[in-house]
A and B are shown apart, each in its own frame.
Chain A
Amino acid sequence: MTENSPEYEFILRDLGHANPAVIVIDAGLATSMKTHLFAKAFPERYFNLGIAEQNAVSVASGLARRELVPLVHTFSNFIARRAHDQVALSVAWPRCNVKLIGGSCGVFDGRNGPSHMAIDDLATMFALPGMLIVEPGDRRQTRELLHAVVSHAGPAYLRLRRHGAPEDLLPDLPVDSGVVVAARQENSRATLVAAGSMLGEALQATRLLNESGVPIDLIHVSILRPLHAQPILESAQRTGLVITLENHVASGAFGDAVSRHVAPHGLRHIRFALPDEFIPAGDPRWQLAYCGLDAVAIADRVTQLIAEGTNV
């Protein structure tokens, strides 16, 4: 979302028209989170509560208790890190209908460095009982999933990239259960499972591998929790190799969620994730390469893994 995804402001405003219970809360990052059209259209339902995220999350909890639907907007780090206790106790524990909209996630917003670039938010959100976790792969999915998140009764976390979300990477494939089979071949050698914002690199890597004569399945997951694992299992049992790809450190997030489903079947599972470090500030292309997660690096690593599997 945002500077390069200007439509978020329209999506949010349209949501305001469709659902009179929706309340938008900002925590001092309105210009980044692109909430201004909603604010203009519904000033009585818009509140910028200033740079005080802990208060913003708990206030949203109070609004939800009056059966309103608050959407709290700020960068993911300031929700998942700074306001984690409030998310846990004011929202998740009482199962309040609060929607947490986090921007600035992972390598697609690393220019401001580790303070702003969320690399561990999914781990903390996955650890909270009952939290719906959603990460779209493109702008169209953002539109569809924002409505899905608001329709869901209960706490939810929508993880958004801030810059350069592509328009529509999977034409004609609705998000449905949050798992889309983007590529499938009977002779696939591996199952690449890409979470949320890694869709673009995953599609490109899949094309590169195909051109090299290495067919793989590609599955994209936008609803990370609860995970609809059946398509992943179906593919993995055919290919024998699962590779999860996520814009987050390996600990405690999407790879772990997939592992819980594939491990009992004895399937080989490798995780492509951000490295175990606070990543230096940089632009997305530079950071993707730094982390070994650009399309070329992904294709090389997948090829190597398949070769290792063959040799074993």
Chain B
Amino acid sequence: MPAFSEVIAETEIAQLRRLTNQLRTTIIDVHRRAGSGHLGSSLSIVEALVVLFQQHFNWQRSPDEPWRGDRFILSKGHAALGLYCALSIEGQLDPRLLSSFGQNGSTLEPHPNENLEPAIHASTGSLGQGLSIGVGLALGSRLRSSDDRVFVVIGDGETNEGQIWEAARCAVRLKLSNLIVLLDDNQMQQDGPTPEIMPVPDVSTCWHEMGWCVLECDGHDCAAISTSLSELLEDQAAAPKLLHLHSIKGRGIPFLEGRAESHFPPPLSNEDFLLVKYMLDQGV
């Protein structure tokens, strides 16, 4: 007979899986209604967002000290569609806004704009800058003697940017143990497979050698992400943390999975959407 704590853990993981299905379906539906968007990149970070926001991220804010609190930065800003949908499920963004995604003058621009929506903690879109902003936020927390944390999602294509490596070295130099990076390594970028265009092999090894605490896991396995994130956050080393997630671009839509065409695809037909939704609901 399993221990009581194991039963609770299994229930939690089942709940996370249910939420990932809900988020994935929402993303595909919003994309379908908007008529365009960066679908593939949004679908590859679904499990990462759900586990992070459900289990670790602290959304609490103090009106008297607006500088306080955890921060989340989607450095691969083109996956904004996924972030908006995740924020709506978390109750941090009005779900009614989702229907305006990508429309003229919408609050929900194709790339996150913090000037328009308070749940967005940093405007991004030009790849490579989000990690440096995260370094500044994490350093700022320490200078203010607070224990707030900063979570940054970067993509494998984004590691082509030199600034990512400037920031990675800087985070180690500053011993930013409150900085947690989630690398969404779906092995793809807009123009095709990253390993064929500009490979960045052994990111985990490189960053570990630089001084990061590094763990790797399946980017679509909620239990593995949950365990890895917990382990990293409990690590007392005076070093920044990297969770290297091996993911699949376009995850959840069989005919787009792992394909460059998933980057900015046309909307799914009604029939395809219903089929994908059915498969997700059935756990296929």
Contact = CB atoms under 8 A, between A and B. Distances in A.
B162 A61 contact: no
Contacts of A50: 166, 169-170, 173
Contacts of B121: 65
Interface stretch (A52-60, A141-149, A150-158): A52-60
Interface of B: 66-67, 71, 114-115, 121-126, 128-129, 132-141, 143-144, 150, 162-163, 166-167, 169-170, 173-174
A23 interface: yes
B210 to A, nearest CB: 13
Given A59-B135, A93-B123, 13 more contacts: A50-B170, A52-B163, A54-B128, A54-B132, A54-B166, A55-B167, A55-B170, A58-B163, A59-B132, A59-B139, A59-B170, A61-B133, A94-B115
Interface of A: 23, 44-45, 47, 49-50, 52, 54-55, 57-68, 70, 85-86, 89-90, 93-95
Contacts of A55: 132, 135, 163, 166-167, 170
Nearest to B130: A58
B260 to A, nearest CB: 25
Nearest to A68: B140
B125 A89 contact: yes
A201 B71 CA distance: 50
Contacts, number: 104
Given A50-B170, A54-B163, A55-B163, A60 B136 contact: yes
Contact of A85 (B126, B166, B173): B126
Of listed A52, A59, A65, A85, residue having the most chain B CB within 10 A? A59
A62 B123 contact: no
A103 to B, nearest CB: 21
Contacts of A85: 126, 129
Contacts of A90: 129, 132-133
A58 B136 contact: yes
B143 A65 contact: no
B121 to A, nearest CB: 8
Contacts of A65: 67, 71, 121-122, 133, 136-137, 140
Nearest to B73: A62
Contacts of A57: 132
Of listed B121, B141, B143, residue having the most chain A CB within 10 A? B143
Contacts of B135: 55, 58-59, 62
Contacts of A60: 136
Contact of A58 (B140, B150, B167): B167
A52 B139 CA distance: 17
A127 to B, nearest CB: 16
A95 B116 CA distance: 13
A66 B140 contact: yes
Of listed B135, B144, B166, residue having the most chain A CB within 10 A? B166
Nearest to A89: B126
A62 B67 contact: no
B44 to A, nearest CB: 23
Contact of B170 (A52, A61, A68): A52
Contact of A23 (B124, B143, B162, B169): B143
22 contacts: A23-B143, A45-B143, A55-B163, A58-B136, A59-B167, A59-B170, A61-B122, A61-B133, A61-B136, A62-B132, A62-B136, A65-B122, A65-B137, A66-B143, A68-B140, A86-B129, A86-B132, A89-B123, A89-B125, A89-B129, A90-B133, A93-B115
